[in-house]
Amino acid sequence: MAYSTIPSPKRVQKMIHMLLHLVALGLGILGIYAAFKFHKESQIPNMYTLHSWLGISTICLFALQWIFGFFSFWFPGAPPMMRATLVPLHSTAGLAIFLTAICTVETGLMEKGAGSPGRSETLLINFAGLIILLFGLFVCLSTALPRIMPF
């Protein structure tokens, strides 16, 4: 979305896109570290839920996508013809990873909400889940619609 929302030269948009994703990757790794540390200190087993499996898969795919994008599009950069071929694959994989992240968040909310049925927190958890789902839907539409209907 950095390409469609930031009015700058393409190289600047590309750098902002890359740096924002690098920050997101760092924060994701920090989050996984915190989860493993919390589980160890609380003597909770690791990797026993769908949420944890999706989380590890998402962060690994995201890291691979970032590395692939960095070497293909930034440094040293693939030849222009190859980059043109890789762009649809890179953007589709990015959208798939984003949807996997949305699923990870939703399963995490469901996991936390299952422990408190009927409590007032459940309403907040359900509302947050709905907002996150709608956010994911609108991001997907905003990235897909320009390709379907070029205005």
Average pLDDT, rounded, for the chain: 92
Instruction: Tell me the pLDDT of the chain (151 aa) as tens digits.
Output: 788 788 899 999 999 999 999 999 999 999 999 999 999 999 999 999 999 999 999 999 999 999 999 999 999 989 999 999 999 999 999 999 999 999 999 999 999 888 777 778 888 999 999 999 999 999 999 888 766 555 4
* pLDDT, tens digit (0-9, with 9 covering 90-100), for 31-41: 999 999 999 99
Tokens for 101, please give them.
């992240």
**Which domains, ranges and CATH numbers included, belong to the chain?**
2-148 (1.20.120.1770)
33: closest CA among 54, 55, 65? 55
* pLDDT, tens digit (0-9, with 9 covering 90-100), for 92-107: 999 999 999 999 999 9
Q: pLDDT at position 4, please?
A: 78
d(CA 101, CA 78): 28
Query: What's the distance, Cα to Cα, between the start and end of the chain in Å?
Result: 16
Tokens for 98, please give them.
């984003």
DSSP 72: I
* The 3-state secondary structure of 14-65, one letter per residue: HHHHHHHHHHHHHHHHHHHHHHHHHHHHHCCCCCCCHHHHHHHHHHHHHHHH
Cis-peptide, bond into residue 88, ω within 30° of zero: no
Q: What are the C-alpha distances in Å from 78 to residues 25, 63, 70, 82, 86?
A: 23, 19, 10, 6, 9
- Helix, strand, coil fractions of the chain, as percent rounded to 5: 85, 0, 15
